[in-house]
Amino acid sequence: MHAMNNRQKIAFMLAMSWCFASTRALADTTGAIAKPATRPPAAEYYTTNEAAGLLIRVNIWGEVQKPGVHFVPASASIADSVSAAGGPLPTAIFPEVYLHRGGTEREIDILRAGRGMNVMADDTIVVQRSFKTELPLLYSTISAVISIAAFYLVMSRNKD
């Protein structure tokens, strides 16, 4: 194998940086679920509203329109809580959601059990991202890697 000239080195570096950027974009799309380090005082879990009555704090994360902490009526179902977060995004695995309650995790079909099951203070509902939404980015990354490998093979076989 011969050494690459400057033009080949620049082309190779550009191709590698594009591949790195594609891989970085894939990594940035995967979210992490934040877990509280300590338990806040009870006043942070409850509030009142004249129209809705007692409101409880629920964490709604993942593929919803407005992820974060939401205060919902104490009588709200899991489906109502996801609706309070703006509903699922098109990238969501739906109707399955994960309910984190008291140190345990359960997968719940929101259309079946989620309508009759009420949330409790400090519940965390996670709507997962569908792998199908990652396929175009995955294909482009694989394509870039194959292109770089082919480019390198062609350049390494060419003798100036």
- Cβ neighbors of 159 (< 8 A, separation 6 or more) are 2
DSSP 89-158: -TTB--SEEEEEETTEEEEEETTTTTTTPBP-TT-EEEEPBPGGGGHHHHHHHHHHHHHHHHHHHHHHH-
Reported as a pLDDT band with limits 50, 70 and 90, residue 110 is confident
Q: What does the domain layout of the chain look like in residue ranges?
A: 6-29+134-157, 43-128
pTM, entire model: 0.56
pLDDT tens per residue across span 9-28: 665 665 555 555 544 444 44
Q: What is the mean pLDDT of the chain?
A: 76
What is the fold of 43-128? Outer membrane lipoprotein wza fold like (3.10.560)
